[in-house]
A and B are shown apart, each in its own frame.
Chain A
Amino acid sequence: MTPPLEPDDEAYRPRLIRSYTLTAGRTATSVDLAMEATLRLQAGAEAPVLSPSAAQVLEVCDRRSVAEVSALTKMPIGVTRVLLGDLIEQGLVRIQATITDKTSTDERLELIERTLRGLRNY
């Protein structure tokens, strides 16, 4: 793969990417996966035969975020989401809670307070 273009690189050029062949052409997943959502291997789950890319995602995802899995596997974020969505639907991986539109104000407050405590002691 060619190196990624810098976020601010004005001289980027279009290129053909076949990354979605890794997902059999699918570009979306039914599972809502925030960039920062933490993934956990589902204890006791027995892995079926997986594609090499799915196996790679499964191997690195435990206790890491969606963004970290994308960075470590060098797969684009959209591809990573599709593969993770499959693993979640297969019951191999679960996601831990993040703030979403459905998060209650109390939960939101609790999280921000925990973050503030953590940052002050960081």
Chain B
Amino acid sequence: MDFETTKAQRAAASTKIVIAGGFGVGKSTLVGAVSEIDPLRTEALVTNESEGVDDLAAVPTKATTTVAMDFGRLTLAEDLVLYLFGTPGQRRFWFMWDDLCRGAIGAIVLVDVARLDESFSPLDYFESKGIPFIVAVNEFDGVPRYPVDEIAAALALPPEVPIISLDARDREQAKGALVKITEYSLMRLRESLTANVN
């Protein structure tokens, strides 16, 4: 082995942000708006009898179903690629979120104001796991717009969680959401350092 590994080689070459939210809320749209490639799809196998078990533990001969995940890619620098993973929306596939979220910078929870209740569970998930997240209200055409602070109150968001509204089809706005979650994640990490020192 090469023991003279340089700092550049040790530095992370890729990272990820998770895009979560209810069915049809625009997760794939957001990924597609900023991805440099057409979003790709990967499948995982799920055994029907053992939901909650990692796909790697699936017994090969057991009847299985597949769940698909769409993801996109942004080359941020010569030595850094950011992946965006959309979470499978159905609740029964939630055990896969642990795999998707491991090592993520943070998550964007996309919200449709017409179906706020679908956001409750994703919010609970990220809160319980201590994963930094922001809320992005996807403003579909023709949907009445509510002030984000009213939506934050309806979602019972902790006051420190950033909430923005965006059009998930718009590249710049989607990029803005990525900047926002990254800034927030950085702030949270710095705060935790300060808290540890004091």
Contact = CB atoms under 8 A, between A and B. Distances in A.
Interface in B31-90: 34, 40-45, 48, 55-60, 63-71, 73-74, 76-77, 80-83, 85-90
B125 interface: no
B185 interface: yes
Nearest to B88: A7
A10 B24 CA distance: 12
B186 interface: yes
A112 B186 contact: yes
Contact of A77 (B23, B42, B80, B82): B42
Interface residues of A, number: 60
Interchain residue pairs A-B with the least CB separation, the first 6: A118-B76, A20-B60, A96-B13, A71-B40, A99-B103, A7-B88
A77 B15 CA distance: 18
B121 interface: no
A76 B13 contact: no
A78 B178 CA distance: 28
Nearest to A81: B56
B114 interface: no
Contact of B66 (A4, A28, A110, A114): A4
B193 interface: yes
Contacts of B59: 27
Interface in A22-53: 25, 27-29, 34-38
Interface of B: 9-16, 23-24, 34, 40-45, 48, 55-60, 63-71, 73-74, 76-77, 80-83, 85-90, 93, 99-100, 102-105, 175, 178-179, 182-183, 185-186, 189-190, 192-193
Contact of B80 (A19, A25, A115): A115
A6 B68 CA distance: 6
Contact of B189 (A21, A98, A105): A105
Nearest to A97: B12
19 contacts: A4-B66, A5-B66, A7-B67, A7-B70, A10-B90, A15-B65, A20-B60, A27-B56, A65-B14, A67-B40, A67-B42, A70-B43, A76-B55, A78-B58, A96-B13, A97-B12, A103-B12, A107-B11, A115-B15
Nearest to A7: B88
B23 A8 contact: yes
Contacts of A115: 15, 76, 80, 82, 105, 182
A67 B68 CA distance: 11
A45 B107 CA distance: 38
B40 A12 contact: no
Nearest to B57: A27
A8 B103 contact: no
A37 B82 CA distance: 10
A26 to B, nearest CB: 9
